[in-house]
Amino acid sequence: MKKTSQEAVEGYRPVFDAFMDSPGARHNQLPFLDGGSVLVGSPEQVIDKFGRYQEAFGHELSGISVAVPGLPAAENRESVETFVTDVMPSLRAAYPSRVWA
């Protein structure tokens, strides 16, 4: 996650391409962003995607991976910090959960 979707896509594309070139993923035809489950984009885009998941599935708890293989540690940390500060408060306000009560 980056502050803008363009930065996020540019930063994640090489990681995704390397994953898709791995022996275990060559047979898989995963969509890059729109149709896939990967959370790449601006905070607003990630909030919107979580909202679509919540509407579709009604879940109260989501598990996400905060370690992205192939992403430099500093970029990974920045992404997690952006998620915690810019996304989580909005999700908790929009989708209250009994899990956190």
Q: Where are the domains of the chain?
A: 5-100
Residue 29 has what pLDDT? Answer: 66
User: Which segment, 22-26, 30-34, 72-76, 83-87, is predicted with the most confidence on average?
Assistant: 83-87
- Record the pTM: 0.72
Residue 100 has what pLDDT? Answer: 64
- Cα distances (angstroms) measured from residue 40 to each of 3, 15, 96, 98: 11, 12, 23, 27
Q: Give the whole-number percent of the chain exceeding pLDDT 70.
A: 85
The Cα–Cα gap between 51 and 68 comes to: 22
Please give the residue that has the higher pLDDT: either 68 or 34. Answer: 68
Mean pLDDT of 44-72: 84
Q: Give the whole-number percent of the chain exceeding pLDDT 90.
A: 16
